[in-house]
Amino acid sequence: MPVIKTLKGISPVVGNNCFLAETAVIIGDVVMGDDCSIWYNAVLRGDVNSIRMGNKVNVQDGAIIHCTYMKAATNIGNRVSIGHNALVHGCTLHDNVLVGMGAIIMDNAVVHSGSIIAAGAVVLENSIIESGWIWAGVPAKPVKKVSPELLTGQIDRIADNYLLYSSWYKE
């Protein structure tokens, strides 16, 4: 059974048809849309500020979503994939974004739609990732535009696959 914890009188709100792994932790001011999946050992800590997630978001194993007290909430759009062991902290991810495994996105960064944050990248505080770009490295920098093949072959494919995977656990 996942840990879903009310804190300071605020309870997480989970949308329809969501999968929450047994070891997922969701605390406080977290609101997620429909068809989301929160995987094993993922932590969504809405204890110091709010976390808002759209529909069809997958937060993969070991990922952490957090915020900064009275400064930076976390906002996540629709069809966003947050890779294994990624850290998403006090930032905004628009629709159709892929955050690679082990990537870090810091406070007040904004990742616009159709963008990819490469595995292991560190997106610094206040960075703005324009729509349709791949950012990689430490610190992360733009490396190339997202091609139509990457959009369908990575961003769309992963979002769709996680809907499929989560359905297996609901049977």
For 104-118, the pLDDT digits (tens) are: 999 999 999 999 999
Judging by DSSP bridges, how do beta strands 92-93 and 110-111 pair with one another? parallel
- Cβ partners under 8 Å of residue 160, min gap 6: none
Give percent of the chain above pLDDT 90: 95
The pLDDT value recorded for residue 51 is 98
Residue-level pLDDT at 73:
98
CA distance 62 to 69: 22
> What confidence score (pLDDT) does residue 38 get?
98
Query: For the residues 108-135, what does the mean pLDDT come to?
Result: 98
CATH of 3-169, one of 3.55.50.30, 2.160.10.10, 3.40.1500.10, 3.40.50.2300: 2.160.10.10
What's the token pair of residue 96? 């159709």
Rounded to an integer, what distance in angstroms lies between the CA atom of residue 166 and that of residue 159?
11
31: number of Cβ within 10 Å: 15
CB 122 within 8 A of CB 139: yes
Cβ count within 10 A of residue 22: 10
Give mean pLDDT, residues 29-52. Answer: 98
| CA separation for the pair 50, 167 (Å, rounded) | 28
pLDDT band at 171 (very low <50, low <70, confident <90, very high): confident
Q: pLDDT > 70: what percent of the chain? A: 100
- What is residue 129's predicted lDDT score, i.e. its pLDDT? 98
- Residue 170 reports pLDDT greater than 90: no
* Mean pLDDT of all residues belonging to the chain: 97
Long-range contacts of 31-39 (CB under 8 A, 24+ apart): 32/57, 33/57, 33/78, 35/163, 35/166, 37/162, 37/163, 37/165, 37/166, 38/2, 39/63
CA–CA distance, 163 with 156 (Å, rounded to integer): 11
The whole-number pLDDT of residue 157 equals 94
Segment holding 107, helix H or strand E: none
**Whether residue 150 has pLDDT greater than 90:** no
